[in-house]
Structure 1
């Protein structure tokens, strides 16, 4: 039996966008694994490291996953929380010669599976958006200014669709949270510009919640 939570009005002929099927949070299993190293640094430290890495390797490219589940009849975004304060989308930096999809699957396995390369494959879908860091500054933008020829960082968001059931295994120093889209929307102060902009990127979809 399927029930739907749809964007837009019920008037026939309205544009509803693409349909995105999501499953209840109760369909999934959660466990933990040993902690992974996390840099404990200030924003100034991170920008200094970005500058050093840029000199050696050029623009930093990151890929991050937008993963949705249903909870209390509402779409929720899966987020990783570090040190009870910093929220992150699952993902990370690409290696030289690595494709975006290969990198995202590797990062998802590293952060959310029993061990890297194990378990079911990840279904990486469309690119939902891109964020740019034009200079060695904190601000990132959803478009690249035309006068910037050598951006310092690019982050690409990809939709990742979950199967009906899956086991998530998360490092002990991370928390995996399901956060309602309505709580994230434009909540820049808590989640930062990229995560708080995800609900707008998803507004073209009709959410079809599959109840088993």
Structure 2
């Protein structure tokens, strides 16, 4: 993982920051690990818990990784699929006193073993993580890591939600180069 993730929403410091090299999906290795346990709670319970956490701790900040690969000569976004219906970007909640980058590294390591119901619940920051030419992803058995074409994600809020469906637009300022190994 690049030590300097860049945010698609932030300004760039030169033309090279607008060029993004992506590598073919077959350059990466995938495995599985023990399943992640989920809390058995209703949606109302979850919203109540999140509201209580907000009232107690304030605004919750989350970071999420935008990971791109090439498949069939097109860029694809790596998404986690949970319970065969929910799509998520890898990432999670920032701990008190933790930097965004440290949190993102921790979450990518824990989720992939890789070195909304109101505006009150969280502030999410997206980071473009420039993948190395090769690495290994280890995914919990009850998750799927899928490579979804950007053209399928674009403006598809119903399936992917508002954040993920907006990623292709955020990436439009980048020149994407497919690097053949």
- What interval of TM-score do these two structures reach, taking the shorter chain for normalisation? 0.7 to 0.9
Matched, 1:79 2:79: yes
Query: TM-score, normalization: structure 2?
Result: 0.86
Q: Distance in 1 between matches of 2:80 and 2:96?
A: 25
Q: Deviations over 1:127-179 (max 9, x none)?
A: xxxxxxxxxx7256xxxxxxxxxx54200000011111101100011100000
Matched position secondary structure for 1:92: strand
Aligned counterpart, 1:176: 145
Larger % of helix: which? 2
Matched, 1:70 2:70: yes
Matched position secondary structure for 1:39: coil
Q: CA RMSD in A?
A: 1.8
Q: Deviations over 1:43-95 (max 9, x none)?
A: 43322111011122111110000000000000000000000000000000011
Q: Distance in 2 between matches of 1:40 and 1:22?
A: 38
Query: TM-score, normalization: structure 1?
Result: 0.74
Matched, 1:206 2:175: yes
Q: Distance in 2 between matches of 1:205 and 1:211?
A: 19
Q: Deviations over 1:91-136 (max 9, x none)?
A: 00011110000001000000111xxxxx64xxxxxxxxxxxxxxxx
Report the CA distance shift for 1:43/1:165 in structure 2 as closer, same or farther (over 3 A): same
Matched, 1:52 2:21: no
**Contact map agreement 1:43 1:138 (CA 8 A) in 2:** no
**Contact map agreement 1:91 1:108 (CA 8 A) in 2:** yes
Provide structure 1 residue ranges, at least 5 long, that are not aligned to the other structure.
Answer: 1-14, 114-118, 121-136, 141-150
Provide structure 2 residue ranges, at least 5 long, that are not aligned to the other structure.
Answer: 1-14
For the pair shown, the structure with the greater C-alpha radius of gyration is 1
How many pairs were matched up?
166
Aligned counterpart, 2:28: 28
Aligned counterpart, 2:8: none
Task: Give 1:143-162 correspondences, 5 Å limit.
Answer: 151-162=120-131
Aligned counterpart, 2:165: 196
**Contact map agreement 1:65 1:158 (CA 8 A) in 2:** yes
| Residue 40 of structure 1, CA deviation | 4.4
Larger % of strand: which? 1
